[in-house]
């Protein structure tokens, strides 16, 4: 049984309740003096508390998907290392696995589309990162055999995993259902986490003497994907979206690289690069780089291109309300900005699952397939 399966959660809850009832039932017998009674009381309390915390932890993990499997929880590697050849003849995108979407008829790519697990090798940045690519059903249909498709990079927050985008935030399934309902054009999704130099949180910046994360996302990733799949190379063919840290990255890359990305959507994004123990020294004393990492400063001091932005917040539950309002005010023509403001909603998967469907429709409407 998997870590995030319903069976494991139900079993943990039942066990915790059962132990609580056993404790209540046996407590009168264990109320006597003597070392055996004391050990019994301590043992029952300890086991009940462990079971309770396990049930709460499993429920929280199932909701937020901090860990996707038992191996992930215990720090064990699931897959063997992948050797990536960086010679001139090597492909920038290597496909490792393929899986269908869990929809009726989803085993056939032309019906449900396909999710491919890949490794992307960055030519300029030197960064190699795993990712998932969702290809819509139309990509495999004969009438679209010579058609290109718009694409959007999708990032998790930190320290999330790319699997969160599939299992918890349901990007491929949502894109499938929205396109099937005629609300958006078919779109390719390139899903990965912002931590392309794990375990460091690079905040999608080019660190002096360190990982060139911005170069990877702005230059290498769209180039590699366009050379592997039927995606155009113009800015109008590409979007960028994400939640939390991924939302900051999406807005940052679209803002600083309007020649590469036509649109950026930040769900519960913040607007200034974090600097803490997870990031280390991002800017090495370069104040100009630090200012550039502040999106509100960038809007005030750098030229704004023809990018479109979508930002989200809530009146209660999110800490980015003021920053979001400031961002909206500072966007000037030729750039455009849209927003989603919920009445209430915290910084969690439930909130993002309310924003992602309209966000995907918005993104697809800002991009062109040709």
pLDDT tens column, 222-281: 999 999 999 999 999 999 999 999 999 999 999 999 999 999 999 999 999 999 888 999
Least confident of 27-36, 159-168, 233-242: 27-36
Which pLDDT does position 6 carry in this prediction? 72
Give every strand in the sheet of 336-342, ordered side by side.
Answer: 93-100, 114-121, 128-135, 188-192, 151-155, 238-243, 263-267, 308-314, 336-342
Q: Report the run of H or E that residue 263 belongs to, with start and end.
A: strand 263-267
| pLDDT score recorded for residue 38 | 76
Residue 89 has pLDDT above 50, yes or no: no
Residue 147 to residue 370: CA distance in whole angstroms: 8
- Name the architecture of domain 87-366: 3-Layer(aba) Sandwich (3.40)
**pLDDT tier at 313 (50, 70, 90 boundaries)?**
very high
The whole-number average pLDDT for the span 64-92 is 52
Determine the Cα–Cα distance for residues 268 and 158; give it in Å rounded to an integer: 13
Query: What is the reported pLDDT for 85?
Result: 46
C-alpha dihedral sign at 112, 118, 121, 127 = positive
CB 228 within 8 A of CB 138: no
Asked if the model's pLDDT at residue 64 lies above 80, the reply is no
Which whole number is the average pLDDT over 113-120?
Answer: 95
Distances (CA, A) of 275 to 78, 196, 200, 282, 369: 31, 17, 11, 7, 38
In angstroms, the first-to-last Cα distance of the chain is 45
Among 186, 164, 166, 167, smallest CA distance to 175 is for 186
> What's the CA gap between 76 and 245, in Å, rounded?
25
CB 90 within 8 A of CB 84: yes
- Residue appearing with tokens 């509100």: 296
Higher pLDDT, 58 or 280: 280
Q: How confident is the model at residue 79 (pLDDT cuts 50, 70, 90)?
A: very low
Tell me the per-residue pLDDT of 182-218, one tens digit each, with 9 for 90 and over.
Answer: 999 999 999 999 988 888 899 999 999 999 999 999 9
pLDDT tens string 122-136 = 999 999 999 999 999
Question: SS3 of 95, please?
Answer: strand
Half-sphere exposure (Cβ direction) of 96: Cα atoms closer than 13 Å: 15
Torsion sign across C-alpha atoms 117, 119, 195, 177: negative
Tell me the pLDDT of the chain averaged across its residues.
88
SS3 helix, strand, coil % of the chain, rounded to 5? 40, 20, 40
pLDDT digits (tens, 9 = 90+) for 5-20: 678 778 888 888 888 8
Instruction: Give the β-pairing of 188-192 and 114-121.
Output: unpaired
Residue 335 φ then ψ, to 5° = -70, 160
pLDDT band at 75 (very low <50, low <70, confident <90, very high): low
pLDDT score of 267: 96
pLDDT of residue 208: 93
Which residues, other chains included, contact 110 with Cβ-Cβ below 8 Å and sequence gap of 6+? 137, 140, 141
DSSP 299-325: HHHS---S-EEEEEEESSS-S-HHHHH
pLDDT mean over 333-352: 92
- pLDDT range class, residue 24, cuts 50, 70, 90: confident
Confidence check: pLDDT of 111 > 60 = yes
Q: Which residues pair with 340 in a beta bridge?
A: 312
Residue 90 scores a pLDDT above 50: no
Q: What global pTM score does this model have?
A: 0.79
Indicate the pLDDT class of residue 80, thresholds 50, 70 and 90.
Answer: very low
pLDDT of residue 36: 76
Confidence of residue 66 (pLDDT cuts 50, 70, 90): low
* Partners of residue 238 on adjacent β-strands: 151
| Residues facing residue 188 across a β-bridge | 151
Query: What does 160-225 look like in DSSP terms, one character per residue?
Result: --THHHHHTS-HHHHHHHHHHTTSS---EEEEE-S-SBTTB--TT-B-TTS-BHHHIIIIIHHHHH
């Amino acid at each position: 049984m998997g870590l995030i399966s319903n069976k494991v959660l139900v079993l943990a809850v039942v066990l915790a309740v059962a132990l609580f009832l056993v404790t209540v039932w046996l407590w009168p017998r264990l109320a006597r003096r003597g070392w055996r009674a004391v050990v019994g009381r301590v043992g029952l309390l300890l086991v009940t508390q462990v079971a309770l915390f396990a049930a709460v932890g499993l429920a929280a993990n199932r909701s937020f998907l901090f860990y996707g499997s038992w191996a992930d929880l215990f720090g064990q590697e699931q897959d063997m290392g992948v050797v990536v050849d960086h010679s001139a003849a090597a492909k920038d995108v290597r496909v490792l696995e393929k899986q269908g979407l869990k929809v009726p008829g989803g085993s056939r790519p032309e019906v449900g589309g396909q999710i491919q697990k890949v490794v992307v090798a960055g030519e300029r940045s030197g960064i190699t990162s795993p990712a998932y690519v969702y290809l819509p059903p139309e990509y495999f249909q004969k009438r679209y055999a010579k058609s290109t498709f718009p694409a959007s990079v999708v990032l998790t927050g930190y320290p999330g995993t790319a699997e969160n985008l599939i299992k918890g935030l349901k990007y491929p399934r949502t894109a499938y259902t929205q396109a099937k309902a005629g609300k958006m054009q078919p779109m390719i999704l390139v899903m990965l986490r912002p931590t392309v130099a794990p375990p460091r949180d690079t905040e999608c910046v080019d660190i002096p003497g360190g990982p060139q994360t911005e170069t990877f996302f702005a230059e290498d990733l769209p180039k590699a994907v366009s050379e592997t799949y039927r995606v155009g190379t113009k800015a109008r063919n590409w979007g960028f979206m994400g939640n939390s840290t991924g939302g900051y990255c999406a807005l940052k890359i679209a803002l600083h690289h309007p020649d590469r990305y036509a649109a950026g959507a930040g769900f519960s994004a913040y607007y200034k690069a974090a600097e803490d123990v997870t990031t280390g020294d991002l800017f090495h004393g370069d104040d100009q780089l630090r200012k550039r990492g502040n999106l509100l400063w960038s809007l005030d001091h750098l030229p704004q291109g023809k990018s479109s932005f979508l930002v989200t917040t809530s009146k209660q539950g999110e800490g980015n309300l003021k920053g979001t309002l400031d961002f909206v005010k500072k966007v000037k023509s030729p750039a455009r900005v849209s927003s989603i403001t919920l009445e209430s909603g915290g910084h969690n998967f439930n909130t993002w699952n309310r924003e992602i469907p309209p966000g995907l429709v918005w993104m697809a409407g800002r991009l062109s397939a040709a």
